[in-house]
Chains A and B, each alone.
Chain A
Amino acid sequence: MTQTEYLIVAIIILVVLAVTFIVSFVLYKRTPKPKGCEDIEISEEKCAGCNNESCAFYKEKDSIEVLKNKKEEK
C-alpha cells in the first residue's frame, strides 16, 4: 500500500470512530435505566470527586449539592 492509501484508510477509520462514538452516545442516552437502578445517580460518595460535565449523571450534581447541604445542616 502507498502512503496515500494508508492516509485514506486512516481518515476512514477516524470517521468511523467518530460516528461510533456519536451513535453509542445517543443510544446510551436513549436506553432506559433498568428497574431498581433509578436511585443510583444521586450519591455524594460516588460523584463528589468528579467534574465530568459530559457525564449522563452530571445533571444530578445539583441534587448532590442539596444532599451535602442537608447533611451539613444536620
Chain B
Amino acid sequence: MSDFVTFILAIISAMLIDNVVLSRFYGICPFLGVSKKVKSSLGMGIAVVFVILVATCVCWPLYTYILEPAGIPFMDTVAYILVIASLVQLVGLFIKKYSPSLYKSLGIYLPLITTNCAVLGVVQTNTDTGLRFIDALANGLGTSIGFLVIIVVFSCIRTRLESANTPKAFKGLPIALITAAIMAIALMGLQGLFAGI
C-alpha cells in the first residue's frame, strides 16, 4: 500500500472510526459548551484544527530530536503544554492585533483551546505510539477534522432539538448527552471498515 493511501486511510480512521470526542471522550467541555449554535461551533472547530496541526508540527520534532536523545522523554507533557499555551496566546495576539473580524468570531474560543485536552491528547498519542512524522500529521489532521465535523453536526442536531417536543426532564444537557451517545453508536458501526485493506 502506498504512503499516500496510508495517509488518507489514517485521516479517515482518526476522523470517523476513532473519533476523538465520541470514542476517547477528549474535548467534552467545548463539545457540550460551544455546540448550542452552529456558527459558534464552526468557529471553535476551525480554531482547534489550526492549533492541533501546528502543535503536531512543533511537538513531534521537539520530542523526537530533542527530548528523547537528551534522555528526558518524561518532560514531554510539560513541553507540550508550554507549546500549546504559547501557540494559542500568539495566535490570539496576532488575531487581536491584525484581524478584528476574525477576533470577533474566534477570539472567545482561543483561550478555551488551551484547556481542550483533545489537543494535548493528539500530540501525546503521536509520540507515545512512535508514529512517523507523516503519520503523526495524518493523525492530527484526521482528529481535528473529526472534532470539527462532530461538533458542527452535534450543534445542528441541538438547534433542531430546541424546537422539538422534548419531555421537560430531558431538556438541555440530558437530551444532548443522549444524542451524543447515539452518534457514538453510529460511528462504532464503522469499525472494521478498512479491515480487508
Contact = CB atoms under 8 A, between A and B. Distances in A.
Real binding pair: yes
Interface of A: 1, 3, 6-7, 9-10, 13-14, 17-18, 20-21, 24-25, 27-28, 31, 33-37, 40-41, 43, 45-52, 54-57
Contact of B70 (A7, A51, A56): A7
B72 A34 contact: no
Contact of B108 (A9, A14, A31, A40): A40
Contacts of A10: 66-67, 70, 72, 75
Q: Chain B: interface secondary structure?
A: helix
B111 A17 contact: no
Interface residues of B, number: 38
Contacts of A48: 33
A21 B29 contact: no
Q: What 7 pairs between A and B have smallest CB-CB spacing?
A: A49-B33, A34-B100, A24-B89, A6-B70, A55-B111, A17-B82, A10-B70
A57 B106 CA distance: 13
